[in-house]
Chains A and B, each alone.
Chain A
Amino acid sequence: MKRLVIVGAGTGGLMVANFVARDLSREIAHGEISVTLLGDKDEYIYQPGFLYVAFDLMRPAQLIRPIRELLAPGIEFVHDRAVRIDPEGKVVERAGGEALRYDYLVLATGSGLNLQEVPGLSEGAHWFYTLEGALQLRDELRRFAGGRVVLTVGVPHKCPVAPLEFTMMFDEWARVRGIREQTELVYTYPLGRAHSIPSVAEWAQPELEHRGVRVETFFNMESVEPDQKVVHSLEGTDIAYDLLVAIPPHRGDELGALSGLAEAGNWYPTDRNRLNLNGRDDVFVLGDATNLPISKAGSVAHFEAEVLADNLVGLLAEGSPPAYLYSGRAFCFIETGLERATFISFDYLNPPKVPQPTNAVHWFKQTYNRIHWANLKAVM
């Protein structure tokens, strides 16, 4: 029997497991192939929803589903943490049970916040990058009556358009509540422009200006003084705030470092087209966990999952070498307020263009927020 083990039951891990299990349902039923998904949580949380939770536009219950409801038939789900990978012995050791043997391994362990990297951040800032954080920010916003709101951006971070979305949504949210005049909005960015993608930066700069947002570039958060309510940058700029909303810097799960397989920041060195862990042809990586110079986004995990699943089906069913290549494809919606949105689509070779925001795209995103589950189950 050929064994596929997938570590991490988030966006990428669930999609790979479901694609492979649907394609190989007969082989799984006949006991020729097994698909095991190992995840440290037994619930899936739809992270893009956090942005809406902060503004009281979605409820937490709309974002959460038990993993078991999201699995195609034939997948064995193991609710446990992977603590070490032995690539020579081809086993994944776990915290609470017997190690799992594999023929092929997929790492989809995502990324998490690295709050310690910026002294004072966890005491001084709010964020919407975890459910708890989004709920605390929501409570803060319910009380908010005006003042200076500063948005800061750590590196690296997932969902690279979220800083713009939060700022544009906040602007309209404050107008609707009648407190925009009492509110100064400051958008900071680590680079010398308003976004890392030149065409997005070019589009965003006037959009922000026309909303009365102050843009402060070359601002890499170095430390926060919660008592003084000041945030300092690596480049030597200090900004006082009443409300600090930070996109904290991210890092990968410690599993990679504990196994000696990851580089600084716990990112797995990954082939940009084949998605194998560099130097291994039986270990693959997708989603936020890679070191690839692409957006850490659910859409990227999705497009990678399609490529990886096709290659795994070939490997598992026929032993045929991987033939499908990932092109660097990414797609991101950008909310430009509470009623309109746009989107960008790009890959390694083609930079994005930003279409005019419309109400239709906003509603498309709203719909996607509610049907994401079908995408996870690989039925869409």
Chain B
Amino acid sequence: MADNIMVIDARGSFCPGPLMELIRAIKSAEIGQVIAVLSNDSGSKKDIPLWAGKAGQEFIGVEAHGEYDEITVRKVR
């Protein structure tokens, strides 16, 4: 399972930014794919679940790693 997770390192990404990186990845991923976004933008842990909810994707959770957060989403549609 763990090696099926697609990791996007969006640390230091002001533009396009972590959520935009996630949207890009989700569009080309298979349904069922789990995607973990690494972000040091404190807004991401709010933005990403909010978007996932709007777009009908499954928000799995946030894990804090000190300097950055790991935010995980599953593509379900």
Contact = CB atoms under 8 A, between A and B. Distances in A.
A197 interface: yes
Contacts of B16: 155-156, 160, 196, 293-295
A294 B13 contact: yes
B15 A197 contact: yes
A196 B15 contact: yes
Interface string B33-75: 0000000010100010011001110000000000000000000
Interface string A192-212: 100011101000000000000
A57 interface: no
A346 interface: yes
A191 interface: yes
A293 B13 contact: yes
B32 interface: no
A330 B13 CA distance: 11
Contacts of B18: 293
Interface size grouping (class) on chain A: 20 to 34
Between A196, A265, A330, the greatest number of chain B beta carbons within 10 A of the residue's beta carbon is seen for A196
A351 B14 contact: yes
B23 A190 contact: yes
Interface string B13-28: 1111111110111011
B5 interface: no
Contacts of B15: 160, 196-197, 200, 294-295, 330, 346
A117 B9 CA distance: 24
A272 B51 contact: no
Query: A-side binding surface: helix, strand, loop or mixed?
Result: loop
B12 A190 contact: no
A265 B20 CA distance: 14
Nearest to B77: A234
Given A294-B15, A349-B12, A235 B54 contact: yes
A190 B55 CA distance: 11
Contacts of B17: 191, 196-197, 293
A328 B9 CA distance: 14
Contacts of B10: 293
Contacts of B29: 264
A349 B41 CA distance: 11
A192 B50 contact: yes
Nearest to B37: A293
A220 interface: yes
Interface string A81-103: 00000000000000000000000
Contact of B14 (A192, A218, A272, A352): A352
B9 A220 contact: no
Interface string A325-369: 000101000000000000000111101100000000000000000
A328 B55 CA distance: 30
Given A191-B51, A196-B19, A346-B14, 10 more contacts: A155-B23, A160-B15, A190-B20, A196-B15, A197-B14, A218-B51, A234-B56, A264-B28, A265-B28, A294-B16
The 4 closest A-B pairs by CB, nearest first: A348-B12, A293-B13, A264-B28, A196-B17
Interface of B: 8-21, 23-25, 27-29, 41, 43, 47, 50-51, 54-56
